[in-house]
A and B are shown apart, each in its own frame.
Chain A
Amino acid sequence: EDQVTQSPEALRLQEGESSSLNCSYTVSGLRGLFWYRQDPGKGPEFLFTLYSAGEEKEKERLKATLTKKESFLHITAPKPEDSATYLCAVDPYGQNFVFGPGTRLSVLP
């Protein structure tokens, strides 16, 4: 069964304190892995798509990387406005998206 787990469940950082979020997945075949940001009471906002191991994508303070079993979302020098829940999802061949439970990030000023 296709599965996605994310860790930690919640993360509290001081402004400027860099860290990483983890997304581990088990799928029979991976078409793509997606990162989303979700603010409270709103829909997920698309951030990145990664297709193959070794691929990296960057956007402002965020960088996503992919290996054969996991993906990391690195946050460099975060700001309070980066506080949100970050969702990881995989797109397995022949199946619908499978979402992880998310990591709730709080960045304190």
Chain B
Amino acid sequence: ETGVTQTPRHLVMGMTNKKSLKCEQHLGHNAMYWYKQSAKKPLELMFVYSLEERVENNSVPSRFSPECPNSSHLFLHLHTLQPEDSALYLCASSQGTATGELFFGEGSRLTVL
């Protein structure tokens, strides 16, 4: 138990579906992140939120839409995805964006058919 909870753990969706990934952290951290992990590739940073404000958008396609309603919750809204978007999506949190370790959730395994 890392203090970062992601749901769902597994998701299968068609290219025309709309779905959302959810992340909740119980660590009192101020920064939250979405990472994408594809096979045999390093973790790719997608989005960074600090105190509910987006501070980084790493050239991510608009079919991925993040939302951070408060410092404990983070969503990733998905629509009209492509098969190459199939990956493990990891949420992480840290004390701040400038200091400290990242604590990761268990990930959401996404398969796009």
Contacts and interface: CB of A to CB of B under 8 A. Distances in A.
B42 to A, nearest CB: 4
Interface of A is mostly: strand
A41 B107 contact: yes
Contacts of B48: 96
Most interface-central of A43, A89, A99 (chain B CB within 10 A)? A43
B106 interface: yes
Interface string B40-55: 1111010010000000
Interface in B84-113: 88, 90, 92, 97, 99, 101-107, 109
Interface of B: 2, 4, 6, 40-43, 45, 48, 56, 88, 90, 92, 97, 99, 101-107, 109
Interface of A: 4, 31, 34, 36, 41-46, 49, 87, 89, 96-102
